Amino acid sequence: MIKKRVIIAGSGFSGIALSHYLKTSGIEDFTILEKAGGLGGTWRENTYPGAECDIGSALYSFSFAPNPTWDFKWARGQQILSYIQKTADDFGITPHIAFNQAVKSAVYNDDSRRWAVTTTDGNIYDAQFFISAVGQLHHPNIPNFPGRDSFEGVSFHAAQWDAGADLTGKRIAVIGSAASAVQLIPEVAKIAGHLDVYQRSPNWMIPKIDAPEGPIEKTLAKYLPWWSKVRRLSLWCQGEYIVWPTIKGARVRGAILKTLANWNMRRAVKDKALRKTLTPDYPIGAKRILFSDHYYPAIMRENVSLITCAADEILSGGVKGKDGVTRDCDVIIYATGFHTNPFLMQIDVTGTGGKPLTDHWREGAQAYLGMTVPGFPNMAMLYGPNTNTGHTSVIYFAECQAKYIAQWVKAAGEGALDVKPDVEAAFNIEVQSRLKKLPWDAIDASWYKDGDKITNNWCGGSREYRKRTKILTVSDFEQV
Ligand code: NAP
């Protein structure tokens, strides 16, 4: 049994942010349990060609670790991974990570008021605090297509990229046309013999207008720290004052983004009928707005066919669409998203009186400010329920949570803090009633939802979230 003050599960952006703010609060007695052999979370796992960020690098980075050496305005996946690794090294966090330690369960002991955190290989950590930083998008979802096992070619999920698969000259089917698909399709199209893109629903997509960071920009960023701060602020303002109001239904800003999206499509797609099939029938912002300069040109390539229906069935030699047509292929790439519910899948969490967390979440996940749950003293989450954002950087949210949790750990002292049930319940009612007014609610099924309940997204702007998490209100909790 290894005794620690704080056990953190996961060493992605959230786990590193929390470690940093614990350290700056003088708390060094913590360990990050990382299931894999390396850190980096989603950026370690997603190695598909074209993987890159869809939030500008100056904002998709830690406020405490600006990076003057980004090679592109929208960083590529490999450079983001290197950045996380370097930050963990520079800030003395790497020695706190125990690799290949997948958390299996976390059980609260009412008598000792401590957590027993057990890993899949049987290690038990005795901790005052158990904090999850496992993220929301790491359980690949492949729909249960009839006949999937009968496929005789190569198939894999985008987030489990098969680097050994030779795609050159092959007939390839990509199922899905959202954030992951629009990044990998332009790269795969370059080498495929033929590529079928199964688009069940189109997406609003605005231009990225990406470019390499030139020597002047890199020099400015290196020697003038305010330069990066101004760029960060400008990106934050775009998300907060253009995209977020659009999601809420602001007409003029929505019209501007739609005009940009239409221009993005028109500059590559000259055929009016094809443009129609690529144009969503839902309001801009109701699903994640995508960014790409390369997707529409890829769709126009001679070796690419846009199949405007869902994939329905997998056969030994290909994919059958909802249109009833079977199209042969050698490779299937599933860009079909992730299982995002239940939260903390694969970790059995048990709170006071032996109550499982799944009991509290029977109607869908919820947590006060997305972090704490009544009956689970000294347990918290980063990137927990209702903390995802469709308009800005999740790292901004992770830092808000990390600072809040560092205050909360200090406030608990030697004891245990449990959020008051009425505080959490009132918060959840407020969040859900506000979410009901947003267009995400009108979409039948998305990764934002568990049944009818929006469990993943925050209901407001990031400024509001920062304000509400800036200073811990100790009276929201009771000592147990
Ligand atoms: P996703 O948004 O859940 O998209 C899944 C796609 O699969 C959708 O296009 C969906 O169609 C489609 N699909 C599901 N079943 C299908 C079927 N039977 N036939 C055809 N299509 C089918 O998943 P994702 O693209 O992996 O993105 C998930 C999230 O990851 C994003 O929202 C974003 O937050 C994050 N992400 C971020 C980046 C980045 O740049 N930072 C990159 C990739 C992903 P429908 O739209 O009709 O449901």
Taking the C-alpha atoms of 72, 74, 79 and 84 in order, what is their torsion angle to the nearest 10 degrees? Answer: 130
In angstroms, what is the span from residue 179 Cα to ligand 1's centroid?
5
Closest atom of ligand 1 to 181 CA is: 25
- The segments of the chain whose pLDDT lies below 70 read none
Burial (Cβ within 10 Å: 0-12, 13-18, ≥19) of residue 211: exposed
Q: What pLDDT does residue 87 have? A: 98
Q: What pLDDT does residue 318 have? A: 98
Does any ligand 1 atom lie closer than 6 A to the CB of residue 200? yes
Amino acid letter at 122?
Answer: G
Residue percentage of the chain with pLDDT more than 70: 100
Please give the full DSSP string across 266-307, using - where no structure is assigned: HTT---HHHHHHTS-SS-TTSSPPEE-SSHHHHHTSTTEEEE
Q: What pLDDT does residue 106 have? A: 98
Q: What pLDDT does residue 146 have? A: 98
Q: What pLDDT does residue 271 have? A: 97
In angstroms, what is the span from residue 252 Cα to ligand 1's centroid?
27
Does any ligand 1 atom lie closer than 6 A to the CB of residue 310? yes
Rounded Cα–Cα distance for residues 430 and 297 (Å): 43
Rounded Cα–Cα distance for residues 289 and 75 (Å): 18
Q: What pLDDT does residue 69 have? A: 94
| Mutational test site, ligand 1, from 295, 447, 449, 454, max ligand atoms within 8 Å of CB | 447
Per-residue pLDDT tens over the stretch 158-211 = 999 999 999 999 999 999 999 999 999 999 999 999 999 999 999 999 999 899
Does any ligand 1 atom lie closer than 6 A to the CB of residue 178? yes
Residue 469: CB partners within 8 Å, gap ≥ 6? 369, 400, 401, 403, 404
| Token couple for 365 | 């996940």
Per-residue pLDDT tens over the stretch 314-358 = 999 999 999 999 999 999 999 999 999 999 999 999 999 999 999
Nearest one of 337, 472, 415, 426 to 5, comparing CA atoms: 415
Q: What pLDDT does residue 401 have? A: 98
